[in-house]
């Protein structure tokens, strides 16, 4: 367990099972080589940060390309196992997902890798009463046995494996279609054109409605979109990690592609639940992230101080400020915080009601830009799976 003046260790920002799975993938798949148009018009009006955001936030809805979702989504990735390896009470997880819908959340994100399989089952059961009123996503790409869920070394985006994976997803999610299907990580052995071809076949059968990529290289995104228009990209993005601002977000704007933020609360950091005294137990991936090493952590806490100051100004929680900052960047950016606590879900969903005036947004953006986060967001072995370019089509 972590130690931080008896503060809650709940992972409000999500990405727990996601990161746990990535960590396992690094060690199990260390031998895997990592070599190397319709939606555009609807997004091009968002040419500057904060443009049109007050209206989007007030409505609580926004577009990923042509796909309408809630301004704040829900990441269903740590509902089968928390950081401390405890298993949440399943009926309570179902209750939280259903309550999220009651609080206006219509965008739910999971993946076959989370569990594996178990988080898809939880989501599928949870949304049965209102399936046709929500957007659900899942992801393929890791080499997971489609029958047993056993993780086999590395990545697998071979077309036949993608189709097998989707059949399993449909059963676990209790649905006849996946609204948005992502490639979880780029397979360095499979041309992205072949991946897009498999997804296109699934679309023709009505089993997939939209598709996207996660943590891909920019050239791969261009090629993917040219082959089969991409609806959304999913990358880590928060006040704590602003890397996508350099290339990926401008590229999404150019191509008319929506952007979904995983770990929008910086694995709990931006909620204020981590302080200078926090240390992480063995097995907690945050202990391997150098941004949380003691020397770096003490410096990076200036960011927490900033969100707390703004929380006081806006009569909000620190995490709500972090989420509102994200949705204020562009009207086609959607964060997907996750939690296993009802109170935190309600708090996260309420972030869509927080609106910054143009002056406030400029001030907050400048203050965030002045803080230079120290350390890496992930261990080197995990980072090796991000930004990968697919091989050329022969």
Residues identified as active-site: 114
pLDDT tens, the chain, 394 aa long: 443 333 333 333 333 444 454 544 443 433 333 333 333 333 333 333 333 333 333 358 999 999 999 999 999 988 887 655 678 899 999 999 999 999 999 999 999 999 999 999 999 999 999 999 999 999 999 999 999 999 998 999 999 999 999 999 999 999 999 999 999 999 999 999 999 999 999 999 999 999 999 999 999 999 999 999 999 999 999 999 999 999 999 999 999 999 999 999 999 999 999 999 988 888 788 888 999 999 999 999 999 999 999 999 999 999 999 999 999 999 999 999 999 999 999 999 999 999 999 999 999 999 999 999 999 999 999 999 999 999 999 8
Per the DSSP assignment, residues forming a β-bridge with 335 are 261
16-383 has which CATH code? 3.20.20.100
pLDDT of residue 83: 58
């Amino acid at each position: 367990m972590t130690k931080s003046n008896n503060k809650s260790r709940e992972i409000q920002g999500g990405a727990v099972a996601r990161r746990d799975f990535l960590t396992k993938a690094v060690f199990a798949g260390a031998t895997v080589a990592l070599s190397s148009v319709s939606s555009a018009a609807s997004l091009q009006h968002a040419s500057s940060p904060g443009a049109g955001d007050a209206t989007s936030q007030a409505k609580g809805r926004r577009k990923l390309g042509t796909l309408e979702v809630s301004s704040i989504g829900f990441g269903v990735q740590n509902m089968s196992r928390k950081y401390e390896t405890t298993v949440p009470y399943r009926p309570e997880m179902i209750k939280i997902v259903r309550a999220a819908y009651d609080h206006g959340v219509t965008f739910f994100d999971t993946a076959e890798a989370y569990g594996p399989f178990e988080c898809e089952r939880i989501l599928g059961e949870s949304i049965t009463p209102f399936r046709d009123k929500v957007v659900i996503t899942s992801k393929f790409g890791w080499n997971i046995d489609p029958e047993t869920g056993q993780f086999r070394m590395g990545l697998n985006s071979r077309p036949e494996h993608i189709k097998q994976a989707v059949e399993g997803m449909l059963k676990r999610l209790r649905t006849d279609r996946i609204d948005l299907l992502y490639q979880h990580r780029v397979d360095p052995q499979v041309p992205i054109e072949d991946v897009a071809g498999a997804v296109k076949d699934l679309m023709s059968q009505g089993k997939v409605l939209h598709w996207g990529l996660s943590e891909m290289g920019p050239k791969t995104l261009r090629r993917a979109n040219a082959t089969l228009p991409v609806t959304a990209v999913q990358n880590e993005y928060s006040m704590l990690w602003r890397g996508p601002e350099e290339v990926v977000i401008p590229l999404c704007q150019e191509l008319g592609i929506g952007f979904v933020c995983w770990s929008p609360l910086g694995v709990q950091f931006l909620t204020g639940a981590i302080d200078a005294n926090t240390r992480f137990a063995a097995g907690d991936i945050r202990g391997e992230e150098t941004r949380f090493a003691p020397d770096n952590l003490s410096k990076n806490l200036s960011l927490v101080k900033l969100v707390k100051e703004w929380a006081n100004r806006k009569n909000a929680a620190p995490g709500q400020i972090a989420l509102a900052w994200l949705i204020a960047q562009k009207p086609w950016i959607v964060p997907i915080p996750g939690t296993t606590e009802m109170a935190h879900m309600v708090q996260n969903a309420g972030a869509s009601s927080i609106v910054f005036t143009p002056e406030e947004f400029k001030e907050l953006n400048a203050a965030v830009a002045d803080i230079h986060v120290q350390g890496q967001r992930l261990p080197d072995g995990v980072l090796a799976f991000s930004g990968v370019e697919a091989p050329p089509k022969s």
